[in-house]
Structure 1
């Protein structure tokens, strides 16, 4: 059952919510937290694989590693909160009118996989499985900005197609 677009929100909200575009605070928060997650993930990868100092006892942890990991974890918590903030209007409305569903579901699954692999790295992974969890997590994380861009571009194209029709 399709719900007419005009019935999805109170009339006062329709005037201030063009299409499915997120409010400015949500857009800025998402772009900021994704940038922070990618930056801290890259910082950890660089510190872990390329910047490890060697002492007389062998390789030691670079000082950037724990700080980038702590900041990455904090940003991940914010991203989970932001994902929840999308449920009430953005996701619910898109599902009701059937717009940008493929990119939207892919984004939801991708964020879920990142949360799952992050949880797995922290709580589940043993020494044998850690490389697998880590590899999957950083590949998904590095591709996240491209997926976010895909979601935004396909969403904007669907708006243009609707207005042209």
Structure 2
């Protein structure tokens, strides 16, 4: 169930931006603790702002994917396991992001950070598996019928 190119590439770009800014923020955050340069603090702040903006765009894209991809995939019974894990992992990222931004608890925050980082670094591999399985299934069917508007 292939997505229209504009939605597919927008989704890829948004998730790539999230991954790169999240990984970059992690490096800058480590460096600001061990370096006396203020550049790492500024870099961490800017990366986190871009990460938050990309997260908002990604939420819009996920909302667009629900009717045109998720529900159709669920009804057709295709790629349900990896799709369900994708939905779960994205929901976990959304909940932990909310917790990191809005919860001030010093007890909960470190756990939220670890869960968010783990899910965020695991998502690209799952994303690739989901795409691979979906393309493998669609190549076994008529390629003209597998395109989603």
TM interval, shorter chain, is 0.7 to 0.9
Cα displacement (A) at 1:50: 2.2
CA contact (8 A) 1:125 1:133 kept: no
Instruction: Report the aligned-residue RMSD.
Output: 1.9
Partner residue, 1:131? 110
Cα displacement (A) at 1:27: 1.1
Match of 1:90 among 55, 66, 69: 69
- Select the structure of larger CA radius of gyration: 1
Unpaired runs of 5+ residues, structure 2, are 143-149
Cα distance in 2 for partners of 1:34, 1:125 equals 27
Between 1 and 2, higher relative CO (CA 8 Å, sep ≥ 6) is seen in: 2
Cα distance in 1 for partners of 2:60, 2:90 equals 12
Partner residue, 1:32? 13
After superposing on structure 2, the runs of 4+ consecutive aligned residues of structure 1 that deviate more than 4 Å are none
Could you state the TM-score of these two structures normalised by the residue count of structure 2?
A: 0.87
Give SS of 1:143's match.
helix
Number of positions where the alignment pairs a residue of Structure 1 with one of Structure 2: 141
Cα distance in 1 for partners of 2:7, 2:61 equals 8
Higher helix proportion (structure 1 or 2): 2
Partner residue, 1:44? 25
Could you state the TM-score of these two structures normalised by the residue count of structure 1?
A: 0.79
Cα distance in 2 for partners of 1:79, 1:27 equals 12
Cα distance in 1 for partners of 2:40, 2:111 equals 21
